[in-house]
A = this chain, B = another copy of it.
Amino acid sequence: MTQTSLSPAPSSAPTAPEEATRVAVSTVIFTLRRDPLDDQTVVLPLVRRTRDPHEGLWALPGGWLNPTESLDAAASRTLAETTGIAPSYLEQLYAFGAVDRSPARVVSIVYWALVRPDEIPNDVVENVSWFDAAELPRLAFDHNEIVEYALWRLRNKVGYSRIAHGLLADAFTLAELREVYESILGRRLDPANFRRQVENSGTLIPTDRFRTGSHRPARLYRYNQDVELADRGPLVVRH
């Protein structure tokens, strides 16, 4: 009746190793890719399982938590090992721990990440493939549900935060940034109002370079690193 957090609790402690709950770390990684109609769509990498359970199905990249590494470090490591990606943005999403989500008892700490297209390694990694986030096949475990939640968080966060630059290269035009917002939110935005909003937010620094195309050149902007280290709360993922 006075059992305290983290104190030994003999009655509920596992008595044999095979009964032990294990901790896994997985990551939902988003990036943008042009579809055949030249629209940006949200895509994510999945790994084909090579053993049971769910052999042959696609699953989120991840792995077991190493006893000597933090959760953040485990997310980065398993991500690099399975996909070769080192994301520009990485944040904890949720801990999934339903009893029947896997044959063995597994608690998964799930992260979500944004990567810029130029951060994706060119060499094709075996058993890794990229999928349109809106048209996923049946995934292993509860990973469909996890991706849905990650997408909800992405759309939510893009509304009040300025994380869209995590999907763009260093320098970008306002039209490119707007296209990112449009593809995530799933609706068109007024170019004039969008310009004023981001200009007034103080998160962008105009450069003196321009993207020259088939029409009037557009100014290139950089992201202002100094802002928005405050609104994420006391917790920040250190790299």
A contacts, CB < 8 Å to B: 1-9, 12-14, 16-17, 19-26, 47-51, 53, 59-71, 74, 78, 81-82, 92, 94-99, 102, 105-109, 125-128, 140-141, 143, 145, 148-149, 152-153, 156, 233-235
Q: How far is the CA of A64 from the CA of B39 in the complex (A)?
A: 48
Contact present for A6 and B99 (CB under 8 Å): no
Contact present for A81 and B1 (CB under 8 Å): yes
Q: How far is the CA of A140 from the CA of B229 in the complex (A)?
A: 28
Q: How far is the CA of A125 from the CA of B109 in the complex (A)?
A: 33
Contact present for B19 and A51 (CB under 8 Å): no
Contact present for B156 and A233 (CB under 8 Å): yes
Tally of this chain's copies: 2
Q: How far is the CB of A197 from chain B (nearest CB, A)?
A: 19
12 contacting pairs across A/B (C-beta < 8 A): A2-B127, A3-B82, A4-B59, A5-B24, A5-B26, A6-B102, A7-B63, A12-B63, A23-B107, A70-B98, A71-B98, A156-B233
Q: How far is the CB of A65 from chain B (nearest CB, A)?
A: 6
Contact present for A233 and B4 (CB under 8 Å): no
Known: A63-B3, A233-B152. A21 touches B24 (CB 8 A): no
Q: How far is the CB of A79 from chain B (nearest CB, A)?
A: 10
Known: A94-B235, A95-B71. A60 touches B5 (CB 8 A): yes
Contact present for B67 and A4 (CB under 8 Å): no
* Chain B residues positioned under 8 Å from A6 (CB to CB): 24, 26, 53, 59, 62, 102, 106, 108, 140-141
Q: How far is the CB of A225 from chain B (nearest CB, A)?
A: 22
Known: A5-B26, A125-B1. A99 touches B233 (CB 8 A): no
Contact present for A67 and B1 (CB under 8 Å): no
Q: How far is the CA of A153 from the CA of B47 in the complex (A)?
A: 34
